[in-house]
Structure 1
Amino acid sequence: MNDRSAFVEGPGPSETPTSGISKGLLGRLRHLLYAGAVSLALLFFVALEPLDQFSWLFQSKLANHSPSGEIVFIGAPGDMEDPALDHRRIELAETLRDLERQGVGKIYIDVVFDQASTKESDQELAEAIAALGPRVALVDLVERSTTLGLRTRRTTDAIGGNSARVVTRRATNWLGFAWTDEYGHTVDGKRYPSLSASLAGIDDARPGEFQIDYTIPSEDIAGFELAGFAENGANLNLAGRTVIIGEGESVADTLIKVPGNYGVPPSYVSIYAAETLWAGRTGFVGGLRALTIFALLLGAMIIAVRKRKRRQIGYAALVLCIPAALYLGSHIGVRMELSYCLALIAVYGLFRSRAQLKDRLALVDNETGLPRLRALEVSALKNNLTHGHIVVARIHGYEHVLKTLAREDRSQYILKLVDRLRASDSELAIFYEGHHLAWHTKEDDTEALVDHLEGLRAIFAAPISVAGSSVDVGISFGVARLDGDPSTRLAAALAAAEESSEALNPIKIAETGSHFDQLWDISLRARIDEAMEAGEIYCVYQPKIDTMHNTMTGVEALVRWHDPARGFIPPMHFIAQCEKAGRMEHLTRYVLQSACSAARLMHFRGRTVSMSVNMSATLLGDMRIVGIVRNALQASGFDPRFLILEVTETSRIGDLATASTILNELKALGVRISMDDFGTGAANYETFFELPFDELKIDRLFVSNLAKSQKAKAIAASVVAMGKEARITIVAEGAEDTETLKILNEIGCHYVQGYVLSRPLSLTNLLKFNASDKDDALEA
């Protein structure tokens, strides 16, 4: 069915436009998905761990809090455990007795005596430890050996006796920091509490690990050297406090790094860990959780905020959330892996920048470097232009120029035209596309503008020299006052330029609010594209019925446009404007993809019917239509044997040989070809003879008059007879009453479309129609 005539009466009762979201929103969500996938891959390979650790160093210094004061560190000499220096063990025994006299709460000896010294020194130390009873705990050390792997060093039983044991493991990452500690360790199959957990009063050796908070300045932790403790210890108030004795700062080889201090005794890590447990600052937000939350926030912002400037503010706010979260986390004791959130927004930004660059490039003609007409619309909307005029110059005979000049010479030809248009204003911004050159002028006086354009026409009277040849220039102008929507006025100027002529009307003024203006308003390329993306342009489907067997053998996809402002727009209007705006190919691709997907769904539901799709004869001059059909079939997975391409307005085929080649290529894909509206137009019989059609559709002009005109009946009968002789399927369209159906059956035409059988249906209603009793539908 030819959409130019079939849709004038408006939509059927069962048709509704599909809802959709804008292409820009879909693009942003798609880029968010891609950025999320990249960030997840980085997270999987822990690629940004260094960045997280540097952020934790920064976070550790954002806020300081004071230690509990319950832990006192006493630094022992580095040679304390040397068995050859028995006096060191005697010094330690004396210190333990002093601590006992001061009534310390608990003592942890973080020095391992795994070798015997002299009997006297070992016995003295053992007695001092035994005297402390349950108030002392020995720290066993789990360390990694390059040859033996993990091993445990522990104080001998001869010295430690039955004292409690805790375990520490001094493991740091590749940067030299220990960011986590464990609640307990397993040694020889037995669980022991860790030193840090025991310091905090947790002795159940539970599984798991926790974060270590380093927001306490290391200098605030009470610490003394063992050598001076004998003299100064009596002056300290250690009653009830916990003391840990470990290797001191004098042992340079054993010093460990903590944020803000790159040389503290190893025991400080356990002290920090214990203070963390006491303060309850063990919160942690891992990379996956942080990334998920951040992605959801970003996605919600993208969906909710449609204006670009507000989105940019939202992006900036989300980026600022990352340092803000670090700052807040440092105060409440929560460490976060936020580098992957930063990666998400960075990768998303790269995808968006790339897309915007492509959009900017799409607004520029590759050959001439001039901005396209779409760029004029964008500029007018962006700058809120409401005064002056839009002028569109139409280049006459441009098709001849395309055929005769080489590519680089065509660019030179256009640029020389632009130079002439800039005769009075060298800075004038000229926009180019096809055979149109357009610009905005601030001139409000239409008569003065017309005089100026007459002067320009005089300049163009002289030919242009290109590639050593003189090329005549024919030019006319369309003018629209800029007193409304810039896109509407540009469309009006384009329409006026198309209606202008060199001889009779070289300068045509578009009238504001005219019917002419309205038609061109809907023809604008950007408006048509946006309508398809928003679901305003959509497909409905009219069943094709075999009246002999009362079955549906196929459907025809028909395109419609429901504009939110204007309502339903007749296809005979907007399809013509699609052709003039050069968007017919895009519209055909859109309809093909929608129709093939719908037909695939019907096949999946168990009904193998054919799908007919209209194809403008104007597309039969370019082999690209073959690729469009092939891509639609591949994308939808639809069987090409059930696709019928209906060629409309065959009288507009300019080159039958080229059209024949293209149609044969299409048939090679497996699709069938139908001639739509057969019987009208002077070229139909010639076209029917020259081109490889599989089906003819009798025009509705004859079908609708079958019951009233013997002449119409004779023509239809002759077409049916001719189709039978040529072994070509004949379909009648436009049957609107039972009398017409009866006559069609009499003349042998059994494939019928029309309102008497079914109006065009939405896909949802078509599936219901498909599932219903066909006999009842035909008898109704």
Structure 2
Amino acid sequence: MLTAIFDRRPSSWLILGTAIVVGVLLAILPLGAVLDRTLSVARFGIVPRAASGKVVVVEMDAQSAATIQRWPWSRAHYAAVVDALRRAGAAAIVFDVDFSSASDAKGDTAFAAALARADGMVALPTFGQSADATDQRTIDALPLAMFRSQAALASVSIQPDPDGQVRSMPFGTMTDGVPRPSLSSYIAQRSGVVDVGFPIDMSIDPSTIPRLSFIDVRDGKADLARVRGRSVLIGATAVEMGDRYATPSWGVIPGVVVQAMAAETLLRGIPRYGSGTMPFLLALLTLLGIVRTRGTGLFVAVVGAGIVVTGVVLFAQHVVLVTYPLAAALSMIAVAGLACAGRDVAGRFRAQRMIDETTGLPNGLSLVAEHRGDAMCTLVVLQLVNYDSLVAILGSRPSADVVVRVADRLALVASGHRVYRSADRQLAFLLPRDEPVEDTLDGLRAVVLQAVEVVGRKVDVAAVLGVAVGAAATIERLLADAALAAEDALQGGRFWRRSLADDGDLERTISLMGELDVGLADGGIEVFYQPKYDVRAGRITSTEALVRWRHPQRGFIGPDLFIPLAEKTNRIAPLTLHVLRTVLRDASAWRRQHGPITAAVNISANLLSDAAFNAAVERILHETDVPATALVFEVTESAAMSDPTSAIAALERYRDLGVALSMDDYGTGQSTLTYLRQLPLTELKIDRSFVQHAHSNHADGVLVRSTIALAHDLGLKVVAEGVEDQACLDFLERCGCDLIQGYFISRPLPLDRLLERLSEQSRDAA
């Protein structure tokens, strides 16, 4: 029977076995969970749903913050809101606000009295938190005793997935040795096991959850008829108050909205997670049809199998409320389909020619033949992510024209090397070894992703890059490694990524960073400068120093590879001091020619509590003729969080010496108003992940505008990094941003090219 199904072809057995192995591996390895998390957006987005309206959010929004102004708020405000909601007939009042520490006595007394009047209809939050940055023990935070006796307690713990996004909520947690229901379980009156989670229904549109402004409720201006018989959640939605979480379907949203979505989920029923056995067996049945299909019917068989398995899983998720993993089953179908397609192609073609017929570009065989004799090379593979869509919309010939246009752009970067079409949706080329990979590829983003004009219409290009470095004698392996790195970049949401094989080989070759000492001694460690454009002055007034390692055999090694190793092996201090000395020497040169242009130096979080390092920095500053005011030290907020006392003391000492201080990558960590108030900052640097699309993405735009306004109110300058086009620059200018940094202004430059750029600026000004 099975022999008949497989047409007596051993390859069918191999394909089936491979697909099963892939399915089993994805079911037991973390990669399967990663893929399932990636699919969750589509799984929820296919059945959009409005909120029931049974949960109303009273939001501590920007309007409320602007009216009350002082933070933390007096609890008399909360008392007034509780009384107003109680009189309006709310069924329950649940706070997502920390009441574990005392505030002003009058306000606390008023809030306690309001809780007593509410007669048990109010629930207050409890949660666990770390003892401090260096202590992993958990301390339970409970409301003040004067509040606990008058209210119920519920857990507000939210545990994001490993990728930082929230997809589930616990039924309850243990605090102070007592099991507490989560806010969502409390509101929906659903019971469950402590520390066991349920999937949040991300198909619920958070914008459909009824909201009332806190200040309007307090002042009697809100339509309180909307809360009668409803459960009310009170929490912060203002950007400056923090408490925001990333979600797969709706981006970054306030924690109180996440809690409301979880409550809405439980109001509909109790969802649960199912095992992967059912979709695995269903996929296995479809494979029997795929492996016996030939030719054009293969695509129909694969798509049909995918639709059947996906349809069953979606029905279970949205109707039966059981969420089954899907990635392993779909991967089995995909692997079988790709393997069968490869088998068919291998049967039709005996050899591939050196030139790609549809584009006229040299192909992968040509790449191997032309570069096998080179000693070392840096190979880049560009993968066109939307190639299949282009073919479907434009047809094969216009899509080939798109590939040629992209290849023409890559040829400008390849600097004399040819561009090869190594696969249908992939282009490969070699990079010059005398330029840093990071600078070249990051600068290539805006060029590659520009729309391409073919057959009288503009077509958007979506692409990712993979990089592999090694001996050209193994060019075939490098090509495969770079292609896998491109796929990794696609899966990780990155524009480009290095080969994992290359990363591991690099770490072994460097031999615990012993060669870094040689690089520091012989000048292999170089400093490049990325200009910062002053929006008001209309010129470059500052730079950021970026370290580059020119290895004698490997060419440029990226800082993303060697700096983490330097930190692990205690070489980050001499590396940073080398950079500081170089910057001061270079700054002395450009200040004589071009005036007081400042330079920013990145300081590792590990160094702020290093007394010897701080003493060495002071000694260097006293020995130079460049004033300390010409320097900016960029630190991440994690530097302050790891050892606050030492970090703040070191930063205050640098400030007293005249060095300006900047918080780097603002917005990517646990940024709060407390850090901005405690740290002696002069500048705030908004991370590129918020800046790049702020002009076209409403949520990012709101975050950037509010951050700039907040920083200016605190007397801080604002630097926006990651600016890649004019539209983004125009948006930041309208927002009042002070300094702009990114490839639209300039890529990082060695000193001689920076001086040329400054000279051009001076000539233009004249």
Q: Give the TM-score band, short-chain normalised.
A: 0.3 to 0.5
TM-score (norm 1): 0.40
Q: Which one scores higher on RCO, CA 8 angstroms, separation ≥ 6? A: 1
TM-score (norm 2): 0.40
Greater Rg, structure 1 or structure 2? 1
